């Protein structure tokens, strides 16, 4: 499998994992001091689809051809933007992105990190993505940010990784 396919798979898996497990649907989070999260039965894609707040992300993953990748073995960490995050992008700009597969893959894989990183293990600093560039993670008493996006929910556990919900779509330079 090519490096690109592996990275794309990691991004898709991480992004789609948000929200279908019963515990996560009830708003619980699973950070642990050991960095080991309990395993869910649904993969990242099915978890995200089941959450109901990632329809634009699911549409983008389908357009980019990343669904099978994110349903793969993993593990992946996905910083998943909600529908409200995608709504911040002007309609014409979002439609243009959805129509440009190469650009879309680049943006989506920028939201995926290889491996499983639960909230308890998050540290400030650069975090290399599947896309190749790094996200800038900052932590404070106000919470965690990746680039300009606020992490609004952590540790949505899927069978092949973990999803952290963010309020803004992040774009590589």
For 100, list phi and psi in degrees, rounded to 5. Answer: -110, 95
Q: What value does the mean pLDDT of the chain take? A: 82
Quick: pLDDT tens for 84-136: 999 999 999 999 999 999 999 999 999 999 999 999 999 999 999 999 999 99
- Per DSSP bridges, beta strands 76-81 and 149-158 are unpaired
Percent of the chain with pLDDT over 90: 72
Look at residues 24, 41, 53 and name the one whose alpha carbon lies nearest to residue 119: 24
Residue 26 lies in a domain: yes
Residue 171 lies in a domain: no
How distant, in Å, are the alpha carbons of 12, 48, 116, 126, 132 from that of 37? Answer: 20, 17, 9, 22, 26
Give the C-alpha separation, 125 to 64, whole Å: 28
Question: pLDDT value at position 152?
Answer: 97
Report yes or no: 23 and 42 within 8 Å, Cβ to Cβ: no
Residue 101 lies in a domain: yes
The number of distinct structural domains making up the chain is 1
pTM passes above 0.85: no
Provide mean pLDDT across the span 137-146: 94
Percent of the chain with pLDDT over 70: 77
Query: Which CATH number is 85's domain given?
Result: 2.30.180.10
Confidence of residue 40 (pLDDT cuts 50, 70, 90): low
Provide mean pLDDT across the span 160-165: 96
Residue 172 lies in a domain: no
Residue 173 lies in a domain: no
Q: Cis before residue 75, ω within 30 degrees of 0? A: yes
The tokens of 25 are what?
Answer: 């649907």
Domain extent for 73:
3-166
Provide mean pLDDT across the span 28-54: 68
Strands laid side by side in the 76-81 sheet: 112-114, 76-81, 161-166, 149-158, 143-146, 134-140, 125-128
């Amino acid at each position: 499998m090519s490096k690109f396919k592996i990275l794309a798979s990691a991004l898709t898996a991480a992004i789609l994992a948000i929200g279908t497990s019963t515990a996560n649907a009830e708003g619980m989070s699973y950070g642990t001091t050991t960095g080991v999260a309990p395993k869910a039965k649904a993969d990242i894609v099915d978890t995200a689809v089941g959450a109901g707040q990632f329809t634009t992300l699911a549409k983008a993953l389908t357009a980019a051809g990343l669904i099978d990748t994110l349903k793969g073995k993993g593990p992946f960490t996905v910083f998943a933007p909600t529908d409200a995050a995608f709504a911040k992008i002007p309609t014409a700009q979002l439609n243009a992105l959805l129509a440009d597969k190469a650009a879309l893959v680049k943006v989506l894989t920028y939201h995926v990190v290889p491996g499983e990183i639960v909230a308890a293990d998050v540290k400030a600093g650069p975090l290399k993505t599947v896309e190749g560039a790094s996200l800038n993670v900052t932590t404070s008493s106000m919470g965690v940010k990746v680039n300009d996006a606020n992490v609004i929910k952590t540790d949505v556990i899927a069978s092949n990784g973990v999803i952290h919900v963010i309020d803004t779509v992040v774009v590589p330079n």
